[in-house]
Amino acid sequence: MMNRCPFFNLCGGCKFDFSDDDYRQNKIKLLPDIDFTDEPVWGMVGSRRRADFSFDNGRFGFYKKQSKDIVDINHCVNVVPEINDVLPKIAKIPWTGRGSVLITKCENGIDIVVNSDMPFFSADFKTAVDKLPANIIRFVWNDKIVRKYAEPEIKFNDKIINYPPNAFLQPTIETEQILRDLVVKYVDNAKRVADLFCGLGNFTYATHATGFDIVGNGIKRDLFKKPLNTTQLNQYDVVIMDPPRAGAEKQSKELTKSDVKRIIYVSCNPETFVRDKQILERGEYKMNVAIPVDQFVGSTHWEIFSVFEK
């Protein structure tokens, strides 16, 4: 039995009560009707290293279910202890206006990024931020640094990377490692690898790939507007794709015209994954591996790891 959340059915953060005995059974029902080759990988409660909170008219927490009212939160059973340790102090800041607060546990401390409809913060707000614990190493308001003691860092295996504000990051270290290990396994020591939508390089460094992305540590390229073409794709034996929720429709169509033998597709949106899967299968790719991963415990979201070959 998992720890029951006292805010379940009050805040809108979780669809399912992960302490229920039938949690896994109910969440599996949300998986798309495709041939999965392995049992689901289940995430752990209390392992979320990043979470998006909200504030509105001085209140801080999560939005109520199907509402724009705030549920006051100073402890969440789904996040890591380091975030819970600072939540009561963050909740007491004199919040003005409304917006979101992304809190991330990095290797060397806590990073906080505020995105608000208010272009400026008050002097009282700045004073309160300055009094926050020293392990909050960076505090950003609408791209303006309010306070910084150190550059936040994350780590992929032994590779240390600077963490930019609002950058994409897998929600837990455990599931990030599982996905990285799966990618490395199915890259299978290929020498020519492209990592598309590579972000900060979770898969790039581990596979010695060439990274492509709009932002991040790869070659700057908007793969939605300008996907790699057939000539460019034919330089690679394996292509990794880990796109945002919009999926990789245009890139999938280009891949069907290429000579790439293996595609490793990591999706955070089963709906767009099914669309892109159908595109790849019409292009003579066959899905040989499909594994669901419960990265966002309690939510309706599934991650899907898959391998296509032709």
Question: Could you give the residue numbers annotated as active site?
Answer: 268
- Say which DSSP state 64 is in: B
C-alpha dihedral sign at 65, 67, 68, 69: negative
Nearest one of 136, 117, 106 to 68, comparing CA atoms:
117
d(CA 99, CA 116): 4
d(CA 88, CA 93): 9
CB distance 252 to 280 below 8 Å: yes
C-alpha radius of gyration, the chain, whole number: 21
Residues near 181 by beta carbon (within 8 Å), at least 6 away in sequence: none
d(CA 147, CA 56): 22
Nearest one of 156, 144, 158, 159 to 114, comparing CA atoms:
144
- β-pairing verdict for 153-156 and 159-162: antiparallel
Please, which contacts does 274-277 make with residues 24 or more away whose CB atoms are closer than 8 Å?
Answer: 274/32, 274/34, 275/247, 275/249, 276/247, 276/248, 276/249, 276/252, 277/34, 277/306, 277/308
List the structure tokens of 140.
Answer: 């950003």
